[in-house]
Amino acid sequence: MRSSLPDFPWDALAPFGESARKHPLGIIDLSQGTPVDPTPEFIQSRFRESSNSPRYPVTAGTAELRDAIKSWAINHLGASGDFDVLPLIGSKELVAWLPTIVEAKKVLIPEVAYPTYNVGAIIGSAQAIPVPIDASAWPVADFAWINSPSNPTGQVHTDQEITEAIAWSRKNEAILVSDECYLDFGDSAHGRSLLSISEGNNKNLLAVHSLSKRSSMAGYRGALLIGDSNLISNIREFRKHAGMMVPLPVQNAMVVALGDEKHVQEQRDRYNNRRSLLAPALQRAGFTIEYSNAGLYIWCTRNEDAWTSVAWLAELGILATPGSFYGAKGASHIRVALTATDAQISDAVERIESAVK
Ligand SMILES: Cc1ncc(COP(=O)(O)O)c(C=O)c1O
């Protein structure tokens, strides 16, 4: 067992969860980015129809799924040039294992970031180097993550920022992976895929997408890798040996999910409506909202220690996440997830407003 893996940070939040649960009206858990809205029925139905599945699925994905991912990448992401695709068992496993698979030595990660980028570097015995978004200042390395819209900040990279990151990758012959699992959830800003900015030259470039949030399928574990054909071919070979294959009923459900954008638009409207209710209430309680232009989270600060903000909300029965979970620069921020029902979000707004009246 790797002794250097960090303690699972959620354990530190547990006492605040207990305190929030004591609220007479119960807890409103806004600490986790786990979808609560039902998986659309047409996706569930394709999954159920595929339940007779005696044979092993293939790592590369069925021809139907590969075609669905390719069309979606071209029509929806704006990918062009030569690229390949690969289904994943959710994107977290890729984030955790990719540095190991490609034998990365130095992994650049955003300085405020989803913690699994760091975990992946540790598992791969690579050095993780936190960097700002501006890639013109990045050091030499052989691997970098970008994440737009960001978890936890909801910040959206500009085209110029992505272009700089691509230039860094080309100059250093380094792998650049863009985690785009919130790309469909634009609000006041809409992000663009790395693959639409690469102008058809996808060497060393990969984009990761997930159906967990896009289609409320987190329990299915379905995600996609799109980009450099040579890299994907090597990653596919590794995954074949390691038994990393997506179950067939999930592959079939992914096909129909990728073929429909209407449910994604409805989901985006739900999250954006929740943000428009919760953000002003947090502002009235003295929080300054930063970024939060897209994605699933509100990133805010009251210029106090993150745990003080977490404790204040926990007394109202609301559980948020301290920004310190995402890097030292988040020490005075909190992340508030929009993954609660509309009724719970309205209830949270009422609780905050009555506390500051
Ligand atoms: C930035 C980011 N990447 C990847 C993931 C993993 O998602 P999944 O494994 O469900 O695809 C998450 C989950 O919250 C995330 O926030």
Interval between CA 91 and ligand 1 midpoint (Å): 6
Ligand 1 atom having least distance to the Cα of 114:
1
185, 213 contact by CB (below 8 A) = yes
Confidence of residue 3 (pLDDT cuts 50, 70, 90): low
- Confidence (pLDDT) at 9: 77
pLDDT, average across residues 194-220: 98
**pTM (global) more than 0.95:** yes
Q: What is the largest CA-CA distance in the chain?
A: 61
Q: Ligand 1, residues 117, 151, 157: which to mutate, most atoms within 8 A of Cβ? A: 151
- As a whole number of angstroms, the distance between CA 75 and CA 260 comes to 12
- Confidence (pLDDT) at 53: 97
Over residues 93-122, the pLDDT tens digits come to: 999 999 999 999 999 999 999 999 999 999
- Confidence (pLDDT) at 4: 80
Q: Ligand 1, residues 212, 214, 296, 338: which to mutate, most atoms within 8 A of Cβ? A: 212
Calculate the alpha carbon distances from 264 to 42, 70, 76 in Å: 13, 18, 12
- As a whole number of angstroms, the distance between CA 108 and CA 119 comes to 12
Confidence of residue 264 (pLDDT cuts 50, 70, 90): very high
Interval between CA 357 and ligand 1 midpoint (Å): 37
Over residues 299-308, the pLDDT tens digits come to: 999 999 999 9
Over residues 288-347, the pLDDT tens digits come to: 999 999 999 999 999 999 999 999 999 999 999 999 999 999 999 999 999 999 999 999
Alpha carbon of residue 347 to chain centroid: 26
The verdict on the CB of residue 92 being under 6 Å from ligand 1 is yes
Instruction: For each of the domains in the chain, give its residue range(s) and CATH number, in order of start.
Output: 10-39+263-356 (3.90.1150.10), 41-259 (3.40.640.10)
pLDDT, average across residues 255-269: 98
Percent of the chain with pLDDT over 70: 99
The verdict on the CB of residue 208 being under 6 Å from ligand 1 is no
pLDDT, average across residues 46-56: 97
Over residues 223-234, the pLDDT tens digits come to: 999 999 999 999
Ligand 1 atom having least distance to the Cα of 210:
11
Alpha carbon of residue 5 to chain centroid: 21
- Confidence (pLDDT) at 2: 58
Over residues 138-182, the pLDDT tens digits come to: 999 999 999 999 999 999 999 999 999 999 999 999 999 999 999
Interval between CA 134 and ligand 1 midpoint (Å): 23
104, 235 contact by CB (below 8 A) = no
The verdict on the CB of residue 114 being under 6 Å from ligand 1 is yes
Which candidate, 156, 207, 159, places its Cα nearest to that of 186?
156
Ligand 1 atom having least distance to the Cα of 222:
11
